[in-house]
Amino acid sequence: MSAEEEESIRDKPFDYSLSRFYDALPPSEDPNAESSVYSQVRQLQERYEFLESVGTGGTKQIDRVLDHRTNTEVAMARPREDLGERAYETFLTEARLTARLKHPNIITVHDVSIDDQKCPFFTMELKVGDSLSTILKKLSQDDVDYSLRYNRDTLLGMFVRLCDAVAYAHSQKVLHLDLKPANVQVGQFGGVQLCDWGLARVMGVADDDAGDGMIKGTPGYMAPEQVQADAKSVQTDIYALGGILYAILTYQAPHRGTEEDILQSTVKGTLVPPAQAYPDRTIPESLNAVAVKAMAVNPEERYQGVEELQREVRRYLGGYATRAENAGVRRLLQLLYRRNRTLCWSIGTAVAVIVIGTGLFIDQLRLSEGRALEQKAIAELAQRKAEENFILYKEQTKESLKLAEDIRTSTVNMMDVENFMGA
Work out the angle at residue 70's Cα, subtended by the Cα atoms of residues 66 and 72, and round it to the nearest 5 degrees: 40
Pairing of strands 109-114, 72-79: unpaired
235 Cβ contact partners less than 8 Å away, ≥ 6 residues apart = 223, 299, 300, 302, 303, 304
Q: What separation in angstroms does the CA of 52 have from each of 95, 142, 370?
A: 21, 31, 95
Residue 303 burial (10 A CB sphere; 0-12, 13-18, 19+) = buried
Q: How far apart are CA 253 and CA 390, in angstroms?
A: 105
User: Taking the CB of residue 76, how many other CB atoms lie within 10 A of it?
Assistant: 23
Catalytic residue among 63, 130, 164, 178: 178
Residue 66 burial (10 A CB sphere; 0-12, 13-18, 19+) = middle
User: Taking the CB of residue 105, how many other CB atoms lie within 10 A of it?
Assistant: 21
Phi and psi, residue 179, nearest 5°: -75, 130
Which element (helix H / strand E) includes 75? strand 72-79
What angle in degrees, to the nearest 10, is found between the helix axes of 234-250 and 285-294?
A: 150
- Asked if 109 and 98 count as a contact pair (C-beta separation under 8 A), the reply is yes
Beta-ladder partners of 129: 187
Q: How far apart are CA 421 and CA 370, in angstroms?
A: 75
Judge whether 208 counts as a catalytic residue.
no
Residues with a known catalytic role: 178
